[in-house]
Amino acid sequence: MAIHKLADYIMSRDDWKKKRDGAPYNVPKSAVSGVSIGDSIAAVYKSFALDTAEKNLKDAEKLCTNLDTYSKKVKVKHAKFATDIVDKLLKKAKQHKDVMADVVSALKQKDQKLADAGYAFRQHVADATKHPLKGVADKFNALKGVLDCMGLIDDGSVAVAREAGSWVTKCENVKVLSDKDKKDIEAFLKKAAA
């Protein structure tokens, strides 16, 4: 199961409005002009998915910028709100942004890591004496690393990373892959590419 839950980092737009508008803060919506934290939060929630990770990173960066601006301006008349809510939300938004930067980096590396794993496996199948299973295990472990990172926000990647890990273990602990193993690895590589 994906472990990076957006709601653990960034409150919803409705929660933002309730905290801003309600007691004890009672901050007017117009307290800071030119910055909409609600719209920025909504954008981050809308783009939070593996296939829109780059957009989510940009949305998170914008949210951080807007929160920083908002905090500086709202502190003048509503210092407690800035300290209690805005600054804490900014800290969490920065943590989310950092996670998304890692996910985007992993996405950019995935195709190459997958190609490397497939190549090492096929080289081993072609000539096991020149290309031992240790090399296959190393390439599958590198692929598992990017899949683990993608799995921070995507349940499907968690399952594929787990399977990659099982192939790492298998390649580290056997001398020869069976014909069934070879077929299963080919099927895994196709699944991981999807």
CA–CA dist 69, 67 (Å, integer):
5
In a domain, 148, yes or no: yes
* Mean pLDDT (the chain, rounded): 96
Q: What are residue 76's phi and psi, to 5 degrees?
A: -60, -45
Tell me the Cα Rg of the chain.
23
The answer to whether residues 61 and 29 belong to one domain is yes
Q: Which amino acid is at 39?
A: D
**150-179 pLDDT, tens digit each:** 999 999 999 999 999 999 999 999 989 999
CA distances from 192 to 33, 47, 120, 147 (A): 47, 23, 15, 9
The domain of 45 spans 6-103
Q: What does pTM read for this prediction?
A: 0.93
Encode pLDDT of 70-112 as tens digits.
999 999 999 999 999 999 999 999 999 999 999 999 999 999 9
- What burial class does residue 176 get, using C-beta atoms within 10 Å of its C-beta: 0-12 exposed, 13-18 middle, 19+ buried? exposed
Domain count, the chain: 2
Do 82 and 44 share a domain, yes or no? yes
1 within some domain: no
Residue 39, pLDDT score: 97
> Do residues 39 and 58 both lie within one domain?
yes
Asked if 52 and 134 sit in the same domain, the reply is no
